Amino acid sequence: MSFIAKAVTNFPEHMATQSAVKNMLINMWPHKREFIEQFTNSTTVETRYLSLPLNYYRDLNDMGIRNVIWKAEARRLQKENIQKLLDDTGIDIADIGLIASATTTGLTVPSLEALMMNEFPFSPYTKRLPLFGLGCLAGVAGINRVNDYLIGHPKMAAILMITELCSLTFRLEDESISNLVGTTLFGDGSGAVLMVGADHPLSERSQFEILSSESLFYPETERLMGWDMIDNGFQLVLSNDIPTLVRDHVGNNINDFLTRNSVSRSDIDFYIAHPGGPKVLDALSQTLGLDRSKLSLSWQSLAQYGNVSAASVINVLERTIQKNDILHGRAGLMTAMGPAFSLEMSLVRKC
């Protein structure tokens, strides 16, 4: 298996309080005031970070301009992330055999890994793995796909980049419930994870070992979450049936995954869960029989940054590492859910 050596997250410079977002929406759509107040008060989001000053979003209509902004901000954020990974671990950049990048909120061709290879002296033989469309799933799914690579290349290292600038998908003319919920819940940010194979020297100083991973697809659920691509950008698809699916299925699916790895739920000491929203976190706690405190880092991330799609679970991973109170050898579970609908799981052990 592979090892997680370091996780970092990075956010745009423009911070907006939830009350400021609420006031902007009420000014734009005064006839939706009741819904706006309901959603902003129920998300538990207190602040989030945005790629642009809040007042700029009223005039953000052109898809091309949105994508230009996405590319520039993604490049800046990930350049800082990669530099921090290199500085904090001292890894030789020549050891990086793979760069993977995931997003669902912007497009660039060549993809972001190629842009980063022009920012740093990576080997020209470094493999690239762009991942698009996984949504909130991509944080754990990306870690699992990188793990697959490192199992076959145990002497190498790899970097996963997650960049989700959700605010750039905001559409002024869309007064749907989905757009209102998304605007009051989602934020912007990025994350990056350095992982190494079992035979890489940094494995001895890593944070977590990945013991096993699994992907699960729920058939005929594609309208639960995603984007519709329309004339002027992304239109959010978001169903209120997601918490029900979590309560009805995810607990049993996680139990089955753990059983196949000869682990019981009582053996899991910590959880690194994507904070999709308060209803999803409550449903996850309920289906797993967890006290709310077991997901406290997910709740903290949601309050401070909002749902940053796939980058959120990287922030929870970073917080888990920084907490530094997990005993050696203890088992943990990383989970994320996203479009399709799908569930991604990783069983990890503290090094």
C-alpha span between 168 and 68 (Å, rounded): 10
Confirm if 96 and 159 have CB atoms less than 8 A apart.
yes
Confirm if 268 and 332 have CB atoms less than 8 A apart.
yes
Of the candidates 225, 189, 228, 227, the residue with the CA atom closest to the CA atom of residue 70: 189
The Cα diameter of the chain in Å comes to 61
C-alpha span between 145 and 138 (Å, rounded): 10
DSSP 45-69: --EEEESS-GGGGGG---HHHHHHH
Active-site annotation holder among 36, 102, 136, 334: 136
Give backbone dihedrals phi and psi of 173, rounded to 5 degrees, phi first. Answer: -80, -5
Confirm if 49 and 12 have CB atoms less than 8 A apart.
yes
Confirm if 168 and 66 have CB atoms less than 8 A apart.
yes
Calculate Rg over the CA atoms of the chain: 19
136 carries an active-site annotation? yes
C-alpha span between 290 and 266 (Å, rounded): 10
Catalytic (active-site) positions: 136
